[in-house]
């Protein structure tokens, strides 16, 4: 499993996993979008380039997720997969596949306002990367 949801009294969170740091960032984006929308109807019709830069790895993850959220809510694009083309401590470039949002085919499940720093964790253990992220809903 690439991610699991976490219980929280006021918000919702997820724990994502992958063997690589780029894969972890991609799985975090999928976890975020799966909370906001049913991804099963999204078609990989178009390619989109996303990029972010930040001060450190944790800030980069938060900024990355908020950029994905901007594409989903602001640009009205439903994304179903991510290829991380470049990732270092302070910048990320990705190619995402998806299509313009259709309110019938891509109904919102939960309104996500932002990814937060609340209890944010990124760590590597025994060759596996893990991140815990809580979202403001």
* 93 in any annotated domain: yes
How many structural domains comprise the chain?
Answer: 1
pLDDT at 16 over 60: yes
* 121 in any annotated domain: yes
Structure tokens at 114: 């932002």
pLDDT at 70: 97
CA gap 111, 76 in Å, rounded: 13
* 115 in any annotated domain: yes
pTM of the model: 0.92
* 19 in any annotated domain: no
pLDDT at 137 over 90: no
The residue segments making up the domain with residue 47 are 30-136
Sign of CA dihedral 29, 92, 17, 10: negative
Contact 84/51 with Cβ under 8 angstroms? no
* 18 in any annotated domain: no
* 5 in any annotated domain: no
pLDDT at 4: 61
CA gap 54, 2 in Å, rounded: 24
* 17 in any annotated domain: no
Sign of CA dihedral 122, 68, 38, 99: negative
Bridge partners of 79, per DSSP, are 98
Specify the CATH number for the domain of residue 90.
3.55.10.10
CB-count burial class (<10 Å; 0-12, 13-18, 19+) for 104 = exposed
Helix axes 57-69, 21-36, angle to 10 degrees: 40
CA Rg, the chain, in Å?
14
CA gap 54, 22 in Å, rounded: 16
Secondary structure (DSSP) of 59-71? HHHHHHHHHHHII
* 15 in any annotated domain: no
- Tens of pLDDT, residue by residue over 47-98, are 999 999 999 999 999 999 999 999 999 999 999 999 999 999 999 999 999 9
């Amino acid at each position: 499993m690439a991610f699991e949801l976490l219980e929280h009294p006021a918000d919702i969170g997820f724990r994502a996993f992958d063997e690589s740091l780029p894969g972890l960032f991609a799985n975090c984006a999928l976890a975020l979008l799966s909370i906001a929308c049913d991804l099963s109807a999204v078609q990989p019709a178009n390619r989109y380039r996303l990029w972010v830069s930040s001060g450190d790895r944790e800030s980069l993850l938060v900024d990355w997720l908020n950029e994905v959220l901007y594409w989903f809510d602001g640009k009205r694009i439903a994304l179903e997969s991510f290829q991380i083309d470049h990732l270092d401590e302070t910048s990320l470039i990705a190619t995402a596949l998806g299509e313009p949002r259709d309110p019938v085919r891509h109904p919102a499940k939960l309104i996500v306002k932002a990814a937060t720093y609340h209890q944010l964790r990124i760590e590597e253990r025994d060759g596996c990367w893990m991140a815990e992220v809580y979202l403001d809903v």
